[in-house]
């Protein structure tokens, strides 16, 4: 099988794509500044208690039980064979022990617990630590790509990957999905994948550039379009395979990595699209500006 | 024919090695607490006495002692690492008596030797004479007197201070408190000037040993507070593992089938190399004595993704060259050459990301980086070099010259 999109003009649709990307980023900034992220306890401090039960436990029974334990404010969701409680306070180990033994005694002796307790300064520090890592990694990428390719590729690649990461964060903000430590992992994975994806397309542009005679703007446009279409089958096949693996994790995987897999799926799809529709046209834009301005031939509409 | 035989030989040997060692490797792979049950605690250490500072040495000593204490409870391979200037991370997988161990970990917090001198009649022992850090670390041990009764030998750092205290308190009690609980209140028999003393009166050897241990723990000058705790019940961890394994198996089968159907011969070789890749990664895990946890799995998924991508890039490149009308052998040559540069550039960029995360990150982020880096490097060895070598053997044998073996239709080929 081979995907034939050789007559698609990726550069020509750059303007509407860029505008929508900017709108999306603005929407993201608005959403993040108004709603923020739905931080799980990894970033907020507090305690999360997930209980997997072997028999059905009624929600109505659990609530008075939790109230009687008096561990402070909490939110509480229950699903089939699983109960999740989020305490705003960090439980002490004595409280944790009491909760576990009381629950087992009252409801289900075979209950299995997953408990996370985080202190507030650790939470902030983890987030900052990951953010710092990502920023420094971006600088590293810029330097390497600038040496191996040129600085315009570097700027475009990093702009694209920051866009991808930011979009995933935005989606999580808008849909109020819970952000925990695995989310950071997903963002790291997405960045790794996105940079891989972009470099492959850029490599093809670099190669085609070597044999191209760039007399007019449309020559440059042709190089970009040709490079994208030549790598398109690879781009699609790769993203389909990897996204499939992420979907498998989402469908079959354990509860604790559901959100991680979801972030991965989103990031992979956005990342693949961004390499094609944002990174490459952005390079084209930067490169075109750099040349001594020539009168562009009126482009045909086809 | 010779080349084909070499190919078959290499593949048979590789798969033989995989089949032979895999059960062992899978068995030996250490699973993290999120996949097996267990707990992780990040402690922050504070100097117990005012004016004291947390030094690197004392932090290391404390970590060592935590590990010893964990080992004493009989858990398998506790991981205790120091982090930053004043933190200790403890990871213990597969335990059932979590609470007991956590209690033990925190127990040595405040050891005090108190006397009743100058106290009101009903105040009991109110004057603190010695604190844990006055004792020589690790010096308390159980000895036996001539009647074979257990004694606890202790040693203090400041002989003069101890001499003064013991002289003042001859015939009086010197009570041993741990976290305000009195453990014992032996009577001082004589002035002790050489910094050594023995405590008698313990009923059983076990009791004496307990007290000796407690004094040793109390000699550690740091007190620990739990800053972060994660604890996973054993059944829940087991279920996570089963679920993740199922997801992995389904994804693997589909990816292998996809490669086979889409890329035929190069796809077949890709399948071999992907399996070898996973196997080598597991072997490296085993050699590094690393623990597989959720961050590891995340990096593993990314690794598989990049490995598949490497194969797809090469196979697509070869397809392109065949379509351009080149012979199979020369398509392979130029396809390999062109895809090599692409793959290496993409990989080096990823190595940069991995290295930065490794050096900057902590805990989860670092765990991710380790697996990410190793999978990228192994990927270059297996899915780039091994795949190339195998494909070259097969193509040079001259038996697979039809474009359809490479997933190219005759009708797609342009004349050169």
For A236-273, how does the pLDDT look when each residue is reduced to its tens digit (9 = 90+)?
988 998 888 889 888 887 776 788 888 889 999 999 99
Residue intervals of chain A classified under CATH 3.30.70 are 46-118
CB of A134 closer than 8 Å to CB of A187: yes
A39 three-state secondary structure: strand
Backbone angles phi, psi at B308, to 5 degrees: -60, -40
pLDDT at A28: 92
Backbone φ, ψ for residue B202 (5° rounding): -80, 135
CATH of domain A10-39+122-290: 1.20.1640.10
Positions of CATH 1.20.1640.10 in chain A? 10-39+122-290
Write out residues 83-142 of A within 8 Å (CB-CB) of B.
93, 96-97, 110-119, 121-122, 126, 129-130, 132-133, 136-137, 140-141
Length of chain A (residues): 302
pLDDT digits (tens, 9 = 90+) for A64-115: 777 776 777 787 777 767 777 878 777 777 788 788 888 888 777 777 788 8
Say whether the ipTM exceeds 0.95: no
Kindly report, residue by residue over A151-197, the tens digit of the pLDDT: 999 999 999 999 999 999 999 898 888 887 778 778 888 888 888 88
Both structure tokens of A290 = 């750099």
pLDDT at B359: 87
* Least CB–CB distance from B304: residue in A2, A111, A245: A245
Comparing A8-22, A118-132, B22-36, B299-313, the range with the smallest average pLDDT is A118-132
A203 touches chain B (CB under 8 A): yes
φ, ψ of residue A79 in degrees (nearest 5): -125, -170
Whether residue B111 has pLDDT greater than 60: yes
Average of per-residue pLDDT values in chain B: 82
Note whether A113 contacts B231, CB cutoff 8 Å. Answer: yes
B363–A192 C-beta distance less than 8 A: no
Q: How high is the pLDDT of residue A301? A: 45
Q: What is the mean pLDDT of chain A?
A: 82
Query: Kindly report the CA angle at B331 between B328 and B334, in degrees rounded to 5?
Result: 150
- The token duo for B330 is 């020369």
More confident residue, B331 or B182: B331
**Token couple for B315:** 């196979």
Does the pLDDT of residue A297 top 50, yes or no? no
CATH 3.40.50 at A46-118, yes or no = no
The answer for residues whose C-beta is within 8 angstroms of residue B163's C-beta and 6 or more apart is: B191, B192, B193
The strand ranges marked E within B48-170 are 79-83, 87-93, 111-115, 127-131, 141-144, 150-155
Average pLDDT over residues B105-114: 69
Interchain pair B247, A148: CB under 8 A: no
The backbone torsions φ and ψ at residue A115, rounded to the nearest 5 degrees and listed phi first, read -120, 130
Nearest chain A Cα distance for residue B104, angstroms: 12
């Amino acid at each position: 099988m081979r995907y034939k999109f050789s007559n698609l003009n990726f550069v020509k649709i750059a303007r509407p794509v860029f505008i929508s990307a900017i709108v999306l980023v603005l929407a993201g900034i608005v959403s993040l500044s108004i709603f923020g992220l739905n931080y799980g306890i990894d970033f907020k401090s507090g305690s999360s208690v997930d209980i997997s039960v072997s028999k059905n436990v009624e929600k109505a029974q659990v609530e008075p039980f939790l109230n009687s334990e008096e561990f402070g404010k909490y939110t509480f969701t229950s699903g089939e064979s699983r109960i999740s409680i989020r305490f705003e306070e960090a439980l002490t180990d004595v409280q944790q022990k009491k909760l576990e033994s009381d629950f087992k005694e009252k409801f289900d002796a075979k209950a299995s617990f997953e408990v996370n307790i985080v202190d507030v300064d650790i939470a902030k520090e983890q987030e900052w630590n990951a953010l710092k890592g990502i920023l420094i990694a971006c600088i590293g990428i810029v330097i390497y790509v600038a040496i191996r390719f040129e600085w315009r590729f570097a700027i475009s690649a990093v702009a694209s990957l920051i866009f991808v990461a930011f979009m995933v964060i935005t989606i999580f903000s808008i849909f109020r999905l819970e952000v925990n430590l695995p989310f950071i992992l997903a963002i790291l994975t997405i960045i790794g994948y996105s940079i891989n994806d972009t470099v492959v397309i850029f490599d093809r542009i670099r190669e085609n550039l070597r044999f191209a005679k760039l007399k007019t703007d449309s020559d440059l446009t042709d190089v970009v379009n040709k490079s994208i279409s030549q790598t398109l089958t690879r781009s699609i096949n790769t993203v389909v395979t990897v996204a499939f693996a992420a979907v498998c994790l989402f469908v079959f995987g354990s509860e604790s990595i559901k959100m991680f897999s979801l972030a991965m799926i989103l990031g992979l799809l956005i990342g693949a699209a961004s390499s094609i529709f944002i990174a490459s046209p952005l390079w084209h834009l930067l490169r075109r500006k750099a040349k001594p301005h020539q009168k562009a031939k009126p482009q045909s509409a086809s | 024919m010779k080349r084909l035989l070499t190919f078959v030989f290499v593949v048979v040997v590789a798969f033989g090695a995989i089949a032979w060692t895999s059960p062992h490797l899978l068995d030996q792979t250490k699973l993290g607490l999120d996949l097996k049950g267990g707990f992780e605690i990040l402690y922050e250490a504070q100097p117990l006495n005012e004016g004291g500072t947390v030094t690197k040495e004392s932090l290391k000593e404390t970590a060592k002692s935590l590990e010893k204490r964990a080992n004493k409870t009989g858990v398998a391979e506790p991981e205790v690492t120091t982090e930053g200037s004043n933190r200790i991370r403890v990871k213990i997988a597969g335990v059932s008596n979590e609470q007991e161990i956590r209690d033990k970990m925190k127990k040595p917090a405040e050891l005090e030797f108190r006397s009743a001198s100058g106290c009101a009649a009903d105040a009991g022992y109110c004057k603190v004479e010695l604190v844990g850090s006055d004792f020589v670390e690790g010096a308390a041990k159980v000895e036996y007197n001539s009647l074979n009764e257990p004694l606890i030998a202790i040693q203090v750092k400041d002989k003069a201070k101890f001499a003064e205290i013991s002289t003042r308190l001859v015939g009086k009690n010197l009570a041993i408190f741990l976290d305000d609980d009195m453990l014992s209140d032996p009577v001082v028999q004589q002035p002790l000037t050489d910094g050594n003393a023995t405590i008698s009166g313990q009923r059983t050897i076990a009791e004496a040993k307990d007290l000796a241990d407690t004094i040793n723990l109390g000699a550690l000058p740091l007190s620990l507070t739990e800053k972060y705790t994660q604890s996973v019940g054993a059944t829940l961890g087991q279920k996570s593992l089963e679920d993740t394994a199922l997801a992995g198996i389904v994804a693997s089968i589909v990816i292998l089938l996809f490669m086979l159907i889409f890329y035929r011969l190069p796809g077949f070789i890709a399948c071999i190399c992907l399996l070898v890749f996973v196997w080598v990664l597991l072997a490296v895990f085993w050699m590094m004595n690393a623990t597989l946890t959720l961050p590891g799995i995340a990096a593993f998924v990314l690794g598989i993704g990049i490995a598949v991508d490497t194969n797809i890039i090469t196979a697509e490149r070869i397809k392109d060259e065949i379509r351009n009308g080149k012979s199979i052998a020369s398509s392979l040559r130029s396809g390999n050459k062109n895809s090599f540069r692409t793959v290496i550039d993409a990989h080096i960029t990823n190595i940069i990301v991995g290295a930065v995360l490794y050096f900057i990150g902590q805990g989860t982020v670092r765990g991710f980086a380790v697996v990410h880096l190793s999978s990228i490097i192994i990927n270059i060895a297996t899915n780039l070099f091994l795949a190339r070598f195998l494909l070259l053997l097969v193509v040079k044998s001259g038996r697979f010259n039809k474009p359809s073996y490479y997933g190219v239709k005759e009708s797609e080929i342009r004349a050169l």
